[in-house]
Structure formats: C-alpha cells, structure tokens
C-alpha cells in the first residue's frame, strides 16, 4: 500500500509532526498484525460452533437418554441465539471503549462455557439442559463477531476493506467446515476414554473437542493481550488519532452516503445471507442423525466418518476460495453467487429419497439378536444400549416415516456433501464481498451488525426447523422444503440482479 508512505498536501493534520516513512511502515505492520488476529478470532468463533457438532447428538444421548432429535435442534439453536443476543451488546461496547475489553470478556465467557460443556455429565438430573445452557453461553461469547467486523472496518481503507471482509468471510467459512475435522481427529479416544479422578474429568471423544476449543480460547486471549492494538484509518488508509473522526472541510462521507445507499440491495443481501446460513446450519445439524438412521452407523462411526467427510470438504473449500477469487475478477461477483446457489440446490435435490431400499429399523436388531427372546424382553433398552455389542443402530422405531420412506444411499450422501462443499463457500465469500461493495465508503459497522444478526437468526431457526420436520415427516419433506427455499433465493437474486451493484459503479464514479 504505497499511499501509506506518500507525503502530500492531503496528509491528515492529526498526524504527528515526527511521523516518518519508517513510523508509517511500522504502523502498517502493526495494523495488519491486529487485523490478522481478528481473522483468527473469527476462525475460532466458527470452530467453537462446529467442533462438537458431529458429536453433539451422541453426547446428548450418553449424558441424558431422554434427549431426542427435537431437543438436539434446540441445543444447536442455543448457540446462535446466544450469539444473536450478544452481538449488539459487544458491538455497542466496542463503540465507546477499546476493542480489547469486549474481546477479552467474550473470549473468557467462551472458555468457561466450553468447560461447562465438558462437565455437563456431572449433575444427576437434567443433564441435557446443562448441555443446552453451555452451548448458549458458548454462543454468547461468540457475539464478538460484531466487534471483529467493526474493528476490521475501522482499520482498513476503502480499497482494502472489500478484500479484508472477503478474507474474514473465508476464515469464518473455513472454521465452520474444519471444526468437525478436528472432532474426527479426536475420535480415536473412544466413547469411554480415560478418567482423571483428581478433577473428576471424563476425557473421551465427546469432551476432548470442547477442551481443545478451551485451549484455542486461551491462545486467542494471549494474542489479543500481546498483539492486538486499536487502529483507525481514514478512507485512504492514513492513520487518524480519534475514534470518532470526522473529515475536515465539511467532507463528511457518512452524510453523503446515507441517502445514496440502495436499501433494496442491502435488504436483499441480508435475506440471501440468511438463506445461505440457514442452509449450512441445516446441513451440519442433520448430518449425524441422518447418517445414523440411513446407514446404521454407530455413534462412534457417525462421528468419525462425518468428521472425515467434512475434513475433505474443508480441503475442497480451500480450492473453492482460490477459484472464486479468480472467477469473480473475470465474470463478477453476482454470477458467482448465482452459480453457488444453483450448486447448493443440486446438492439438496440429490438427497431426496427414491427407490425400493428402506432404512434398517432399530427393533430389527433386537429381534434378530442371537440372545434368547425371553432374555431380550427382560432387558431394558438402556441396558441394551449400554452394551457396545448390542448398540441399537438404524432408524428409530418412533420415527414412523422410516417404515415407508426409501433410504438415502451413501453415494447420494457423499455427492451431496461435495456439491454443498462447493456451493456454500462460494456463496459465503461472495455475499460478504458484494455486500461490502454495495455499502461503499460509508462506515459499515451498523450494516455489518445487521448481517451478523441475520446469520445468527438463520442458525437459530434452522436447527429447530430441520429437527422438527426431519423427526416428524422425514428427509423427503425436509430436503424438499430446503430445495424450495434455495430456489426462492435464486429467483430473488435474479429479480434484483441489476440493483446489486458496487457503490462506485452505481454512482458512475470510481474509488
């Protein structure tokens, strides 16, 4: 960024007289170190959501056998509900105090909440509600996403901001995708693992991911304390000293752009982002129960195999990010976003059940078991489930659709994962990038807060929606409704396609 070292008559009067090229260079390095800490914070926020997602269902079943798939939806939604409530609080805090304060507070809450999750098995009753509360507190700590976006918006020039927002979006998407991969790496510990009696800790494949998230939080705290510095630059990337900085000579950008931002384009972008995040939340929530029902995987197999699959999708997404940046430069942001939605539609359409093959029903395991039928009748389901040799697998008997809905084939499942793994990262990056360009030079804190709220709202509603529809009606209805939603997003994008323009293009000037 050569403008940082240029000295001309546009240099802000607030700059210290002792400023030099060397000091500007040091400021530039410090500024981007801090921005990269924000990238890492955004990544960890996403990892905190997904690192336990594939093991959440079997962990719930282990600590409280009264938990069902409907309650799982509430547990997954609790994270996003906590984030949605906390985002405006931490965002407002960061407007009046140094960014370090809300960041340290939120990360500390996240750290303690993960420890709470690890010990959710200790209470003698209502363990499932302790899991729910711990996930809500983890989400509350993740409300620092609003602070991160506000910091990056204030620490970048207009030319840097789009790229920085896109990079931050990529870190967030990567965290969402790679979190389950870390869970898969820890599945070798097993369901029973080891017990550390001194601190009454059961270290197993369900609690280890939360402990790893706790370690990540500790690292993040150290980075915020020792590396992060508050930085504020004007639209050209030049250092300013005041947080509430107003351009002199009456050149207040915020007044100019307040009436010129296309609010229809802003609203449409928020709706599209809601749908994109809704789709991803559905995808991650349903993966483990779906695979256990359709493929008769055990709890351990579901955690391991889904973790491996999502790890592969994570590697795939890295390539997608590289391709998307090149593609957007050649054909534009809107075509890439439209193509991403079309690919996601294909991914969910493939999941629709068909054929004459039906899922394995759990009661068949009991009937076909080699044990004497009279002995089986005397054993409770809990006792059977506690024995690894007779762990119930397949579709639960209380899900009546299992008896008449065709099974989803493994090839369908993997093909769908691959397509969604291409479409989601493309849509995620492009939605942030296009949104930033639509807003133009106006300070973007408030607008980014709206985007954060729409994403959190989607992740709150989606798990409850899919768990209810899937449990009661089955995958045919669940995935048909998702296909309809994605098709609606494609129609919406097409209808306002001409309005989703970069601010400078819309007003016939360049930045």
Query: What's the pLDDT band for 214 if we cut at 50, 70, 90?
Result: very high
When mean pLDDT is compared across 271-285, 309-323, 459-473, the lowest value belongs to: 309-323
Query: What's the pLDDT band for 51 if we cut at 50, 70, 90?
Result: confident
Check whether 255 has a pLDDT greater than 70: no
Please tell me the distance from the alpha carbon of residue 50 to that of residue 191, in angstroms, as a whole number.
19
What domains does the chain contain, in order, with CATH numbers? Answer: 19-243+260-361+395-506 (1.20.1250.20)
**What number of helices (H) and strands (E) belong to the chain?**
19, 2
* 355: DSSP letter: S
Q: Of 462, 469, 471, which is closest to residue 293 (Cα–Cα)?
A: 471
Please tell me the distance from the alpha carbon of residue 340 to that of residue 342, in angstroms, as a whole number.
5
Q: Which helix (H) or strand (E) holds 312?
A: helix 299-331
* 191: DSSP letter: T
Q: Which residues contact 38 (CB under 8 A, 6 or more apart)?
A: 148, 151, 152, 168, 228
Check whether 69 has a pLDDT greater than 90: no
Check whether 324 has a pLDDT greater than 60: yes
Check whether 436 has a pLDDT greater than 60: yes
226 vs 360 pLDDT, higher one: 226
Do the Cβ atoms of 72 and 285 come closer than 8 Å? Answer: yes
Tell the residue number behind the tokens 């229809």, with chain if given.
264
**Most confident option among 191-200, 275-284, 293-302, 414-423:** 414-423
97 vs 345 pLDDT, higher one: 345
Query: What's the pLDDT band for 227 if we cut at 50, 70, 90?
Result: very high
**Per-residue pLDDT reduced to its tens digit, 372-427:** 444 444 444 444 444 445 677 888 887 888 888 898 899 999 999 999 989 988 88
Check whether 17 has a pLDDT greater than 70: no
Torsion of CA 206, 210, 213, 214, to 10 degrees: -140
Please tell me the distance from the alpha carbon of residue 81 to that of residue 28, in angstroms, as a whole number.
37
Average pLDDT rounded to a whole number, residues 282-306: 84
Do the Cβ atoms of 503 and 437 come closer than 8 Å? Answer: yes
Percent of the chain with pLDDT over 90: 22
Buried b (16+ CB within 10 A) or exposed e, 405-434: bbbbbeebbeebbbbbbbbbbbbbbbbbbb
Average pLDDT rounded to a whole number, residues 20-25: 62
């Amino acid at each position: 960024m050569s403008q940082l070292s240029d000295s001309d008559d546009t240099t802000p009067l607030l700059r210290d007289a002792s400023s030099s090229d060397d000091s500007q260079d040091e400021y530039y390095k410090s500024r981007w170190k801090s921005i990269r800490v924000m990238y890492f914070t955004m990544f960890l926020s996403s990892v905190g959501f997904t690192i336990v997602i594939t093991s959440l269902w079997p962990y719930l079943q282990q600590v409280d056998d009264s938990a069902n798939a409907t309650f799982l939806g509430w547990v997954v939604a609790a994270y996003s509900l906590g984030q949605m409530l906390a985002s405006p609080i931490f965002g407002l805090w960061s407007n009046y105090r140094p960014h370090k304060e809300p960041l340290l507070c939120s990360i500390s809450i996240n750290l303690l909440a993960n420890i709470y999750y690890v010990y959710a098995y200790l209470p003698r009753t209502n363990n499932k509600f302790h899991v729910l509360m711990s996930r809500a507190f983890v989400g509350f700590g993740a409300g620092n996403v609003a602070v991160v976006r506000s910091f990056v918006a204030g620490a970048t020039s207009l030319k840097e901001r789009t790229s920085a927002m896109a990079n931050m979006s990529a870190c967030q998407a990567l965290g969402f995708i790679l979190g389950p991969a870390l869970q898969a790496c820890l599945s070798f510990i097993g369901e029973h693992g080891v017990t550390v009696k001194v601190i009454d800790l059961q270290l197993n494949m369900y609690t280890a991911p939360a402990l790893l998230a706790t370690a990540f939080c500790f690292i993040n705290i150290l980075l915020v304390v020792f590396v992060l510095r508050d930085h504020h630059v004007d639209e050209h990337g030049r250092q300013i000293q005041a947080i509430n900085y107003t351009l002199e000579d009456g050149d207040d950008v915020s007044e100019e752009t307040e009436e010129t931002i296309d609010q229809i384009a802003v609203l449409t972008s928020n709706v599209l982002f809601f749908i994109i995040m809704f789709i991803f939340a559905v995808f991650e929530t349903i993966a483990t129960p779906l695979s256990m029902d359709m493929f008769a995987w055990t709890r351990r197999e579901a955690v391991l195999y889904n973790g491996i699959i999502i790890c592969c999708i994570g590697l795939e997404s890295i390539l997608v990010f590289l391709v998307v940046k090149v593609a957007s430069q050649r054909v534009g942001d809107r075509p890439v976003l439209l193509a991403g939605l079309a690919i996601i539609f294909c991914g969910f359409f493939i999941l629709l059940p068909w054929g004459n093959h039906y899922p394995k029903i759990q009661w068949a395991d009991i009937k076909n078991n080699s044990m004497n039928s009279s002995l089986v009748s005397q054993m409770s389901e809990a006792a059977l489930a506690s024995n690894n040799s007779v762990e119930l697998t397949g579709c639960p008997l209380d899900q009546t659709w299992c008896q008449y809905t065709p099974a989803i084939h493994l090839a369908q499942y993997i093909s769908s994962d691959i397509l969604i793994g291409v479409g989601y990262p493309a849509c995620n990056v492009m939605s942030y990038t296009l949104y930033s360009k639509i807003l133009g030079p106006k300070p973007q804190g408030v607008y980014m807060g709206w985007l954060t709220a729409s994403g959190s709202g989607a992740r709150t509603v989606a798990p409850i929606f899919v768990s209810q529809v899937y449990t009661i009606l089955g995958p045919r209805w669940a995935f048909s409704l998702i296909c309809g939603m994605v098709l609606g997003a494609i129609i919406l994008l097409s209808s306002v396609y001409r309005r989703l323009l970069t601010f400078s293009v819309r007003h016939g000037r360049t930045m």
